[in-house]
Amino acid sequence: MAVKTEAYKEIIGKAGKARLIAVSKTKPVEDILELYKLGQRDFGENYVQELASKQTELPSDIRWHFIGHLQTNKVRVIAPFIDMIHGVDSYKLLAEINKQAVKNSRKIKVLLQIYIAEEETKFGLDKIELQDLLEKYFASDEMDGVQICGIMAMASFSENPHQIRVELNNAKTIFEQVKEKYFYHDDAFCELSMGMSADYLIALEEGSTMIRIGSLVFGERDTHTS
Ligand SMILES: *Cc1c(COP(=O)(O)O)cnc(C)c1O
């Protein structure tokens, strides 16, 4: 079987209290079920159509995490069932998630994606944008459909562990500043989603509470589909 059971168990052991999100993008439902049978319940996907079709085929107690870049016009497809959306990087997206959640009589958990990498990537909020989003969120009295649970970040694709550590440590600092300033009395704001196959050990040391791991547990993806 394709699933790397030994690696999975090792990661679960190392994660301790942090939660493993098994990133199953491009992988078949059979592989997901294999991990499910070992007790895994949190799975991450980043293509809307793929997620929607897998969700209908798999057990309903799976918690689905959307971890990729989500387009506003696709929110309604996953709003009926998604547990957490990790990559919220604009107020417009947050407002749409709220609207679709309310339509479905749900509350959807979200993480705000911050930009910490050195390289050029398109997604993630800088400090000013993060602050603007939060000010707007707290100024609105119509945000009952979303629960902001924390911060999500991705380090640079770097060979240099020191650089990765510095970036992930920066994410932890921003998480703590936001917690202190905006969510001091909100116990739900407690998640720091960071760490992938290549950098999850560093991420755990830097305070990650959710690691998102694909290739280490499911094997490599075809490069053209990942
Ligand atoms: C694909 C993906 C992962 C998992 O990547 P691996 O290197 O296979 O562990 C984690 N986070 C995001 C946002 C992804 O798109």
For 9-28, how does the pLDDT look when each residue is reduced to its tens digit (9 = 90+)? 999 999 999 999 999 999 99
Q: Quick one: 123 exposed, middle or buried, by C-beta within 10 A (0-12, 13-18, 19+)? A: middle
| Tally of structural domains, the chain | 1
Q: What percent of the chain has pLDDT over 90?
A: 92
The C-alpha R_g of the chain, in whole angstroms, comes to 17
Whether residue 225 lies inside any domain: the answer is: no
Copy the structure tokens of residue 129.
């944008």
Copy the structure tokens of residue 80.
């009926």
- Is the Cβ atom of 23 under 6 angstroms away from ligand 1? yes
Which tens digit of pLDDT belongs to each residue from 37-91? 999 999 999 999 999 999 999 999 999 999 999 999 999 999 999 999 999 999 9
Residue 123 pLDDT: 83
Distance CA 38, CA 107 (A): 28
Q: In 3D, which of 25, 17, 16 has the Cα closest to residue 49?
A: 25
- Ligand 1 centroid–CA 2 distance in Å is 17
- Is the Cβ atom of 108 under 6 angstroms away from ligand 1? no
- Is the Cβ atom of 197 under 6 angstroms away from ligand 1? yes
Residue 122 pLDDT: 65
- Is the Cβ atom of 26 under 6 angstroms away from ligand 1? no
By most ligand atoms within 8 Å of CB, the mutation choice from 123, 212, 226 for ligand 1 is 212
Percent helix, strand and coil across the chain, each to the nearest 5: 40, 20, 40
Whether residue 46 lies inside any domain: the answer is: yes
- Ligand 1 centroid–CA 211 distance in Å is 9
C-beta separation of 167 from 194 below 8 A: no
Whether residue 221 lies inside any domain: the answer is: no
- The CB density around residue 179, as the number of other CB atoms within 10 Å, is 16
Residue 29 pLDDT: 97
Whether residue 222 lies inside any domain: the answer is: no
Residue 225 pLDDT: 47
Q: Quick one: 55 exposed, middle or buried, by C-beta within 10 A (0-12, 13-18, 19+)? A: buried
Mean pLDDT, the chain, whole residue set: 95
| Domain range enclosing 150 | 5-216
Residue 124 has pLDDT above 70, yes or no: yes
- Is the Cβ atom of 20 under 6 angstroms away from ligand 1? no
The ligand 1 atom at the shortest distance from the C-alpha of residue 87 is 13
- Is the Cβ atom of 124 under 6 angstroms away from ligand 1? no
* CATH assignment of the domain containing 89: 3.20.20.10
